Structure 1
């Protein structure tokens, strides 16, 4: 029988009753986001056979909390598969094998309503009895001296049974009920089995020189399977003393002991003389090949020394079967069991495994190679998929992730024992992330604050695992979290108001200006397009889009028509920038388009009124010097210098200096005395000129 650290045996749960079970489970999940669920199945179940449904075994705080998704992590899905909808566990493609699954467990993450729960699953796989015991040989010859003492033990070859647990080998016996022997099957400290033929009474070769017996090996299956072998025991004569070991020995060895270190100096006394008392040492048949490789037994002196390096984490106890035999005719032998215990040394640093995780709707956490390729990052070597622990993995977390969002599972372990194997873990790098204990040796990396990709695009975190040995060993594992973009920034124009000028009488299609908006988001979230906000144009009437055009990609403004400043001095345009997000975000700006004046209007005389480009003004004959004849007034539709007028007198037929024209005010005054005699009218030619270049 093989299982994965089963904590709730099935018969115990049935005896406890439903009420006690619910209370026990409530106590287990109280204050924790992790719980353990146990299932039972059998070896060689067909592909797709249901093992259990996780959603039927998990308690929730209310009836409305229904899991939305289950995800298998840290486990080979070819052995056991999980259905994401309800967490149904089924037999995978590789089938269930107790020998492969022994000592393993796995985790499932359950997500619901943006929350998560880590479910620790333990499955007991019961072995099927499909192998019978098998003796290494069908004929087993043995020899025993007639002087062997009652209780003498003769090692036998142990039958092999490939099943495990109760279906494995359970007994080896003799078919003959009244034999002077019996068979004892024992399980050693290191888990191996050995069988001895035990002498129950003294032998007399002269009365019976041989025994032909039948060995029967049987397993514990239902029904049991068995095998037989013929055992022939030959009784030897002479040599009546056997070597004698002291009581079984125990040796302790540090795992870092150098090769050739002495463990024991074995002694087996034999009171006989000559060859009958000359003892040689050797390992017995029950000594495992691994032990024979690691330990050396000197055949003459009995010195037991270390022949190869040992590792406490691989095996902490060895049981050696030492046989001492004299060299007399019909040699006699004795066996001694030597227990070698390996003492742990703090020679293993803690291990850290990081498994990126992702909640539903979030970007899937990628291994380092895939994420680096997707985001243009550094080189990487990992090619595993999401949910697989990987030293160089990174996580992608959306910048809009809520506090306490799940990022990764950090698992720690240490192969040493005691304080040398007790590991504590801490997370360094940034206060936006923290470690949350999950279960023994495992932690969840969760967000501890809001994330903003535009402020910090990636976080270099450092999980540190440290044991409690003296001195403590530690492991530092760099871990990268990258923040994926969310459309949380609207486009922003470089200016809120653009001041743009254009000369009147411009040609249609003339370039006016280029506007620009920036969006710090990535991809489509940061792609900006432009558009005009339609509005009616003041007194001139008509839509804005009939006056100017805006390129949606480049932001270039062009004139659609020829502008006339005298008709419209300024045009106010509303602009909008949209990003490519869903939904898109918008930013706005204003363009104030000023139409620059051109000298396209000549001055026009309005006072005095003209008739055929002439005007008359009365002049009394007794008018004094400086008499104001008239004030010329002209208008110019242009502006500024183009409308700055100057009055110029070209000629006068009444003599130079008779009339004076003020160049700025246009006042025409008399500058001479008139003759008392009637005379012809005084005439003068006047020009009004603006300040344009060229003037008009």
Structure 2
């Protein structure tokens, strides 16, 4: 606290610069600086923007003893936090440089800062003792005689430790300064005038030591000089300086050296005793002792090269004369380094766990490796053991980064025990090791996988709703949510059906249990193929699919049922185009809604859609549109009139139909002959219609000649006919009925064709119960149907089959060119 403000301002000037080769920042600060003193703008010198120091957690890494500086969180400045004592930190070493490690996170980086603590003149010179007693013989001590004095020591360094000596005024003594080496000056008391004990028996002088500080500090020692008689020869050493080298491993009690001094006097004045004085550094007092009689020097404590590597001390040889005289020599003990310090490995920063998708080169940990030895004994080699996906990279002298060298897979190895080993270059080498535990965190990199790609499931029809059909399981090796699997049925059709798979089956989201939502019906569904999806709970989620083929096994749960014929007529049309332009489709335009008739989309067959009843009325008018698939589409419209007749009306219409048919035939023949030149197909159609007409006449005659009672109600051989799919006749096990020709028919030809419509789906009555024979007889008794055709191309024909009621084609009027006519 003795330095002035101008000096403080000068020493607080900071020098901060980047070492371009190593990325190191250097600062300097005077010792004893007050807490809060700014050492340097660390954040700015590291290239951080304003506010980044606190956001990226700029901080110092503690190493060993408590640091006397810290980083200000808000400003990012390096400030003094506690008392800095250069002498305590570095002793006499110069310069006094502290190596600091600075960490910055997000991303993690390490910087090295060198802080030099500069010396101030805060230590005054100190003599070994406050008083020094000297005895000088009178007469025998000649002017010019020299008496070495113990110099002062100063804990400072540099100019602050450069000492100068002054002696209080005396006419008998002067002070001479001897340079023992480049740094030390040893004062010697020089006798300038012979002493006279009777005049002045004791001389009291003050020796003052001043250092080179500004202002300088001083220390004093009182010299008490007693004037003696007689003994005028001091002891003399055989050499002025003894140099000794000892390894730091030398045991306590080891002989260092032996000094020898001789005295030219005789008797008691020549007997010499030895003593050690003036230790540099003072800690040498605890390490050195000398035998006062023999001059042998021994170790009294262990040496440590890392603490002090050179000791300087003086040996005084004093005779036993009265007064006694003394001689001095210097001993320099150099301590040699041995490999007695193993390397030290410490983890300064650890970033775990490491995600398994971490890229190669990711820094996992920062390590600090040091060895207190010097030379080859302090050179350290580091490596990672055992062989693992991690390696070491040197970032600075004594600093390493543990980095990722290979890709990780948590499903293969979830945790690594990494051991960092260090070995120095001594002989034999010393080793150290440090274990680092590196867990691997999971990422969602595995999709759920089913045991098989396709599952075949057999299920009997009429199963109970909720019955378990199968259990599916998908494996996901990830952990926690990344491996938690949920199941669902992917929407899809049922073969060529119209209902989605989720209408029939469901899967439990957690267990994968597949169960039926409703009883299965083999007659409705034989094979159900769908996909089951397994999705994990990762982010983003991954999924896997499996195909399930559900085969429904049939059971005998349906009795046979007879179905009535359903085809009423068949519309045919031709298109002179080709390809899509000639592909025709048939649509029932009127009546719309739930009418009793329907038309095949591509076959043109008109059939009943349901059973007819009295509410349908006696006549039905059907409008059928025929469209092609061209662009734009062209169409033609046909009108079909259907009459519903009872059994008695059919018999009456049969008698009148004979004559009208003949007349119509004549007219049709004439018309056909007139148009034969223009349409060959019309001639062919007329011939075909005539042939059918003759067949109808024969059949009609046979029915007329049959007994009337048998025709109406009597049992007999089966005569009700219907065309099979191959054109053959099939006979119903019912009463025989006669065919009638209705009024207004254009021709008496009867043309019967095979139905192309599939039978309508059986209703509940057809599936569950079998109609009584009498009921079946009522539905077909007295029913007959007569189809008559107009003069049309042979591409149009009408198919008749017995239904509940009789259908009679009253007429057909073509409404467009190339329209289909009946």
Q: TM-score, normalised by structure 2?
A: 0.58
Contact 2:236 2:261 in 1 (8 A): yes
Distance 1:85 1:591 in 2: 64
The equivalent of 1:442 in structure 2 is 399
Distance 1:175 1:520, change over 3 A: farther
The equivalent of 2:452 in structure 1 is 495
- How far the C-alpha of 1:464 sits from its partner, in A, is 4.0
Counterparts in 2 of 1:145-224, with a 5 A limit? 145-146=136-137, 147=140, 150=144, 152-156=146-150, 158=152, 170-176=163-169, 180-182=173-175, 196=187, 198-206=189-197, 207-224=199-216
- How far the C-alpha of 1:37 sits from its partner, in A, is 1.1
Distance 1:318 1:176 in 2: 34
Instruction: Say yes or no: does 1:575 pair with 2:532.
Output: yes
Distance 2:101 2:176 in 1: 46
Instruction: Say yes or no: does 1:249 pair with 2:238.
Output: no
Distance 2:348 2:145 in 1: 62
The number of aligned residues is: 553
- How far the C-alpha of 1:122 sits from its partner, in A, is 0.4
Distance 1:126 1:526, change over 3 A: farther
Output one character per residue of 1:195-216: Cα deviation in whole Å (capped at 9) or x when no partner. 6553353550334333333444
Output one character per residue of 1:81-134: Cα deviation in whole Å (capped at 9) or x when no partner. 346898x3423644544334755312234567x6x6542210123345556556
Distance 1:501 1:249 in 2: 107
Contact 1:203 1:235 in 2 (8 A): no
Contact 2:14 2:40 in 1 (8 A): no
Instruction: Say yes or no: does 1:413 pair with 2:370.
Output: yes
Contact 1:252 1:341 in 2 (8 A): yes
Give the SS at the match of 2:269: helix
- How far the C-alpha of 1:423 sits from its partner, in A, is 3.0
Contact 1:287 1:321 in 2 (8 A): no
- How far the C-alpha of 1:323 sits from its partner, in A, is 1.6
Which of 317, 324, 328 is residue 331 of structure 1 equivalent to?
A: 324
Q: Unmatched 5+ residue regions in structure 2?
A: 1-10, 49-54, 91-95, 567-714, 720-729, 734-758, 768-822
The equivalent of 1:39 in structure 2 is 27
- How far the C-alpha of 1:59 sits from its partner, in A, is 7.5
The equivalent of 2:52 in structure 1 is none
Instruction: Say yes or no: does 1:142 pair with 2:141.
Output: no
- How far the C-alpha of 1:281 sits from its partner, in A, is 1.3
The equivalent of 2:68 in structure 1 is 79
Distance 1:328 1:231, change over 3 A: closer
Distance 1:171 1:269 in 2: 32
Give the SS at the match of 2:268: helix
- Report which of the two has the higher share of helix: 2
Contact 1:564 1:595 in 2 (8 A): yes
Which of 441, 465, 480 is residue 422 of structure 2 equivalent to?
A: 465
Instruction: Say yes or no: does 1:522 pair with 2:479.
Output: yes
Give the SS at the match of 2:459: strand
- How far the C-alpha of 1:553 sits from its partner, in A, is 2.8
- How far the C-alpha of 1:460 sits from its partner, in A, is 4.6
Distance 1:289 1:133 in 2: 14
Counterparts in 2 of 1:22-101, with a 5 A limit? 25-26=19-20, 28=21, 34-45=22-33, 47=35, 49-58=37-46, 70=58, 72-73=60-61, 75=63, 79-82=68-71, 88-91=76-79, 93-94=81-82, 96-98=84-86, 99-100=88-89
Contact 2:97 2:116 in 1 (8 A): no
Distance 1:320 1:356, change over 3 A: closer
Distance 2:212 2:28 in 1: 20
Distance 2:33 2:394 in 1: 35
Distance 1:53 1:595, change over 3 A: farther
The equivalent of 1:291 in structure 2 is 284
The equivalent of 2:648 in structure 1 is none
- How far the C-alpha of 1:462 sits from its partner, in A, is 4.6
- How far the C-alpha of 1:313 sits from its partner, in A, is 3.4
Q: TM-score, normalised by structure 1?
A: 0.67
Distance 1:581 1:236 in 2: 102
Contact 2:248 2:303 in 1 (8 A): yes
- How far the C-alpha of 1:38 sits from its partner, in A, is 0.6
- How far the C-alpha of 1:58 sits from its partner, in A, is 4.8
Q: Over aligned residue pairs, what C-alpha RMSD do you find?
A: 4.5
Output one character per residue of 1:240-283: Cα deviation in whole Å (capped at 9) or x when no partner. 11111122111222334454443322111012222211111121
Distance 1:592 1:297 in 2: 104
Distance 1:44 1:328, change over 3 A: closer
Q: Give the greater-gyration-radius structure (CA).
A: 2
Counterparts in 2 of 1:120-131, with a 5 A limit? 120-127=112-119, 129=121
Distance 1:200 1:212 in 2: 14
Contact 2:532 2:547 in 1 (8 A): yes
The equivalent of 2:543 in structure 1 is 586
Give the SS at the match of 1:286: strand
The equivalent of 1:674 in structure 2 is none
Q: Which moved more, 1:221-230 or 1:447-456?
A: 221-230
Give the SS at the match of 1:328: coil
The equivalent of 1:235 in structure 2 is 227
- How far the C-alpha of 1:157 sits from its partner, in A, is 7.4
- How far the C-alpha of 1:570 sits from its partner, in A, is 3.6
Output one character per residue of 1:595-654: Cα deviation in whole Å (capped at 9) or x when no partner. 333332234467999xxxxx98669xxxxxxxxx9999xx9x99xxxx9xxxxxxxxxxx
Output one character per residue of 1:323-354: Cα deviation in whole Å (capped at 9) or x when no partner. 211122222222221112223334444x1414
Output one character per residue of 1:403-457: Cα deviation in whole Å (capped at 9) or x when no partner. 2222333444333333333333344433633332323343333222322222333
The equivalent of 1:267 in structure 2 is 260
The equivalent of 2:101 in structure 1 is 107
